[in-house]
Amino acid sequence: MITMSIGGDLTVNRIGYGTMQIVGPGYVGPPRDHATAVRVLRRAVDLGVNLIDTADAYGPFVAEDLIAEALHPYPDDLVIATKGGVVRTGPDVWIPLGRPEYLRQALESSLRRLRLETIDLYQLHRVDPHVPLEESLGELEKLRQEGKIRHIGLSEVSVAELERARATAPVVSVQNLYNLATRDAEDVLRYAEANGLAFIPWFPMATGELARPGGVLDAAAREHGVSPAQLALAWLLHRAPNVLPIPGTSDPAHLEENVAAAGIALTAEQAEELTAL
């Protein structure tokens, strides 16, 4: 599998695994099938995935607990990236909360759930419009200096916010919504590429829309002899060398299909044709 570096010292394979899909409906509560959720996490690592992306808000807390149950003690090369700074009050409800004291509490709680002393990549889940970004990032930088965070990342930010954050703390990654059909974050991707930051697109397959039979990728995928999901991931990998997709699934077969996308090489012409779709 092709690799990349995060923060200059974390070497990861360029297909990660996102845990958003292994919790309950509306991203609240336990998975429908606990045993399968554990099996998918273990299988991801068996297949060579060495970055698991999660958040305390998934469940909430459920995904982090599942990771520890399935994978602890962790392989030496496994990078666990989690996020804090969002409060859940119900299904599909996400409320930013970036107060420094809350972020410290969230980080400490994630450390306990994940059974870690240091989190490799801790990401501010959302910018809180009621808290200056410098205050939120300043607290994460304090936690980094205390050794509780190895690297700091951001999620769903603009270029201007990214620049403000980097003036306060060393940021190594950004995670924004980005896929073949949704490219509003193109400027953030290019900024990240130019400045040596990892770009982690979430919903890389538009929650399955790009992978559905009869969809925009269906005919092109048949021409390539791959699945639509694999083609959507291959396009992302071709987009820039700092792109690290984190497709999530609760289905072991879909997991294997997603990971196999790392072996699909597109020519520049093929990538351009997909972009035009």
3-state secondary structure of 99: coil
What is the C-alpha separation between 187 and 198, in angstroms, rounded? 14
* Nearest of 80, 84, 83, 85 to residue 68 by alpha carbon: 80
Tell me which of 58, 74, 122, 178 is the catalytic residue.
58
Question: Catalytic: 102?
Answer: no
Count other Cβ atoms within 10 Å, centred on residue 253.
8
Q: Which two tokens stand for residue 57?
A: 């808000």
Residues 6+ apart with CB under 8 A from 199: 173, 174, 175, 176, 178, 188, 189, 192, 193, 240, 242, 243, 244
Residues 6+ apart with CB under 8 A from 216: 180, 181, 210, 277
Going by DSSP bridges, is the β-strand pair 86-87/95-96 parallel, antiparallel, or unpaired? antiparallel
Question: Residue 212 corresponds to which amino acid?
Answer: R
Residues 6+ apart with CB under 8 A from 145: none
Q: Which two tokens stand for residue 141?
A: 């930088």
Distance set, CA 37 to CA 31, 32, 112, 173, 249 (Å): 7, 9, 20, 27, 9
Catalytic residues: 58
